[in-house]
Structure 1
């Protein structure tokens, strides 16, 4: 009888503690387990744990799909710094993308996946200000690289390459802080040159050459002539 009474106390205590949600500490900071629903519904919007106002552990975020919660993202907070590992999910539970965030900023490496499988579609890197920095890669579903470009403080800067699925470079551009500026070349999927020339501030500039079967067929002059705004038109 005493054993039964003890078990009942344990079960009751567990039930009560499980229902203690959305509490504040003596300073008015959120503390302990929290769970919030979508407005005017009993569908959970997010759930997680606070420690005196700070998010700790793993938070789960949901969307309301016809009155049912569907997990759409998780945030796993690092106890040693202000970052969190974030994972975004499709409705079927498949990972869409994942990486680190600091508050609302993307930082560090981020991966995006093809919808048809687990193969990485895009790999990019963000600096501590949430701006793209360094190399950014895009891949075919086969895993072959499709595009490589370079970023500096959130802007395209340097060479950008596009590839056919057989690995052949089919396009080359050069950017200067988000502007096409420098040499450009175009090839077919076998690597045979199709055209080449230069850009100046997003415009074709100078002599452009066009090829057929690798042989020069035509040249066009796109020299950009700067206009003097103080010269009177004749």
Structure 2
């Protein structure tokens, strides 16, 4: 009984002595914890020769798990969670920089993914409809949009296609109806409208053409006439028709709104 009582007295100090320890060379070893100002844990995990190993946990101020990290050498597979314990992202860090494909979630459903190289977006990124189909695909180089940029209908048919160069629209710009016919055939030069902008109806008939020179419209009378007709349609339908100009600013948001209205 005396030995048991002594063990109970000294056990907490023995456990504490095994936490947050460094060796003779000042390297962190074994199990480590750090607490927040409110007394709850900030993080906990193991070190070996001053490097994190195995599973680590980081916490929100309220005590919920914020991140689960599995260390294997220089790679750290990371899962991130919100305060409601729902996963919001997952992917790998290599030498503390994002690497490979990172997945992004909302309400535990995949909403986007992005490719990284040395901490920068490099490769393809996607956004998804709530029902899982690919809505948007972009190509990236060194954290800038560079290459093909596409928006899709839920059917998988292309809605918008354009070329990007150093984060700017540059080259052919196409918009299509869901039946596959082209709605707009246009061109950008260094993010400015340039050349012929042709607009078609759903049957493929040319409706009108606007001409631009490095962002400057050359036939404003035609544009103004078309804008007046569009305004009448918007007023007639009490704003239920999305403004096509907003499509040019943010095509993926335009597409989401269009799908919600169907």
Q: Which bracket does the TM-score occupy, shorter chain normalised?
A: 0.7 to 0.9
**Partners of 1:99 and 1:106 within 8 A in 2:** yes
- The verdict on how the C-alpha distance between 1:36 and 1:212 changes in structure 2, with shifts beyond 3 A counting, is same
Instruction: Assess if the C-alpha contact under 8 Å between 1:164 and 1:189 holds in 2.
Output: yes
For 2:48 and 2:5, locate their aligned partners in 1 and report how far apart those are by CA, in whole Å.
30
Q: Secondary structure at the match of 1:157?
A: strand
Measured in 2, the distance between the counterparts of 1:156 and 1:18 equals 52
2:112 is matched with 122
Q: Which has the higher strand share?
A: 1
Counterpart of 1:19 in 2: which secondary structure? helix
Tell me how far apart the structure 2 counterparts of residues 196 and 55 of structure 1 sit (CA, whole Å): 54
Q: Which has the higher helix share?
A: 2
Matches within 5 A, 1:47-58: 47-58=44-55
Closer, same or farther: CA 143–11 of 1 in aligned 2, 3 Å: farther
Aligned CA RMSD, in angstroms, stands at 2.3
**1:196 aligns with one of 180, 185, 204:** 185
* Distance apart, 1:153 and its partner CA: 2.3
SS at match of 2:64: strand
| Unaligned residue ranges in structure 1 (runs of 5+) | 227-234
Within 2, Cα distance between the matches of 1:14 and 1:148? 57
With structure 2 as the length reference, what TM-score do the two structures score?
Answer: 0.74
What is the CA–CA distance in structure 2 between the aligned matches of 1:98 and 1:12, rounded to whole Å?
43
Q: What are the within-5 Å matches in structure 2 for residues 161-200 of structure 1?
A: 161-200=150-189
- Cα deviation per residue 1:116-157 (whole Å; 9 max; x = unaligned)? x4x321122111x21111121211121111011111222211
